[in-house]
């Protein structure tokens, strides 16, 4: 069974693992209870996400981390964590980044936070990063 490890030793390895398709998962403190319940119910992916978040939180405590969007020092437990995960069924690695509560509060909604995170990732790591439209519903076409 693959489990997500954080952080990848090489951003290139994450990108190669993703074959160019990445998924952005935004997690707040409120999302933690949902993840814990899913992991307790046997959801291996939720357990992997929790381990990645725990590893990132310990990094913040040990050596500090900066907000992805404004470079403020992050405080564990008072931030939004964004996991960048390969868009595949069996991801083996991910990248965790944090956004401080000030930057989150400045956004109008979760979609705006996602756009700010994507813009920062585009600027720092993946200049060609773009959103892929969700697939059409299964009810398309003639009936």
pLDDT tens-digit profile, the chain (143 residues): 344 544 445 677 777 777 778 888 999 888 888 999 999 999 988 998 999 999 999 999 998 899 999 989 998 777 899 998 887 777 778 889 999 999 999 988 888 999 999 999 989 888 887 777 666 555 544 44
Tell me, yes or no, if the pTM score tops 0.85. Answer: no
pLDDT value of residue 138: 52
Tokens of 102: 């000030």
Contacts of 69-77 with C-beta under 8 Å, sequence gap 24+, read 69/99, 69/100, 69/103, 69/116, 69/117, 69/120, 70/100, 70/102, 70/103, 72/100, 72/102, 72/103, 74/98, 74/100, 75/100, 77/29
């Amino acid at each position: 069974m693959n489990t997500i490890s954080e952080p990848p030793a090489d951003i290139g390895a994450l990108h190669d693992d993703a074959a160019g398709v990445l998924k952005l998962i935004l997690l707040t403190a409120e999302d933690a209870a949902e993840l814990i319940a899913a992991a307790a119910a046997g959801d291996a992916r939720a357990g992997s996400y929790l381990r990645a978040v725990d590893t990132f939180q310990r990094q913040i405590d040990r050596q500090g981390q900066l907000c992805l969007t404004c470079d403020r020092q992050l405080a564990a437990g008072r931030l939004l964590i964004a996991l960048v995960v390969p868009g595949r069924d069996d991801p083996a690695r991910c990248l965790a980044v944090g956004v401080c509560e000030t930057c989150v509060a400045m956004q109008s909604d979760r979609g705006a936070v996602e756009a700010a995170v994507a813009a920062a990732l585009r600027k720092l790591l993946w200049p060609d990063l773009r959103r892929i439209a969700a697939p059409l519903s299964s009810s398309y076409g003639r009936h």
